Amino acid sequence: MADGLVQPTAGALRLTDSASDSLAELLAEEQAAWGLGSAEAALDAFLALDQRMKGIVTGWQMRDAEAGVVNDHANADYDRAVLDRLAALHKDTVDWLTPNETGWPRLGGYRIRLGRAAEAAQAGDGRYVASPRVDSYHGIWFELHEDLIQLAGRTRADEVAAGRA
């Protein structure tokens, strides 16, 4: 299946050992090309943006997280304020991504996908903020974060333990 890169398992697809080995080789090549120090610096700079993203997603899903009040999206002014925060974050993220693309060109794909999700959310399709059913800003953001963690030679568990994820 897919040139031996994936195999079906429990109703989903899973990478084969061969695909996992190939991905590890590609990651090592990217680390060597960009430099581990550059990857670590990029991840560290990303963390401030990530904190803002967490606040935006929480605000989109919950009107008052401490009181457990879910955002039912009935208040257009509230939702507009959250979308304005997303737009500001997106601008700052593009400003962060663009120079990093020189060292790691694959980041350009994230910039494009995040841009499409931001546009769709701003156009009124709230699914593009954080829904797992579409290529949402939050979903793309999570992929980017995971990619940065791996490129910096860290694991999600390391980042969680250090309070950075």
For residues 98 and 109, give the distance between their C-alpha atoms in angstroms, rounded to a whole number: 11
For residues 50 and 52, give the distance between their C-alpha atoms in angstroms, rounded to a whole number: 5
**Residues 6+ away with beta carbon under 8 Å from 61:** 70, 71, 130
Which residues on adjacent β-strands are paired with residue 70? 62
Task: Say if residue 87's pLDDT is above 70.
Answer: yes
Task: Say if residue 6's pLDDT is above 60.
Answer: yes
CB 146 within 8 A of CB 159: no
Which residues on adjacent β-strands are paired with residue 15? 6
Two tokens at 8?
């079906």
pLDDT value of position 49: 98
Q: Is the pTM of this model over 0.75?
A: yes
For residues 122 and 128, give the distance between their C-alpha atoms in angstroms, rounded to a whole number: 9
SS (HEC) of 116-145? HHHHHHHCCCCHHHHCCCCCCHHHHHHHHH
State how far the alpha carbon of 56 is from the alpha carbons of 50, 64, 99, in Å. Answer: 10, 12, 24
Span 123-157, pLDDT tens digits? 999 999 999 999 999 999 999 999 999 999 999 99
Span 12-60, pLDDT tens digits? 778 788 878 888 888 888 888 888 999 999 999 999 999 999 999 999 9
State how far the alpha carbon of 113 is from the alpha carbons of 74, 98, 105, 144, in Å. Answer: 28, 13, 14, 11
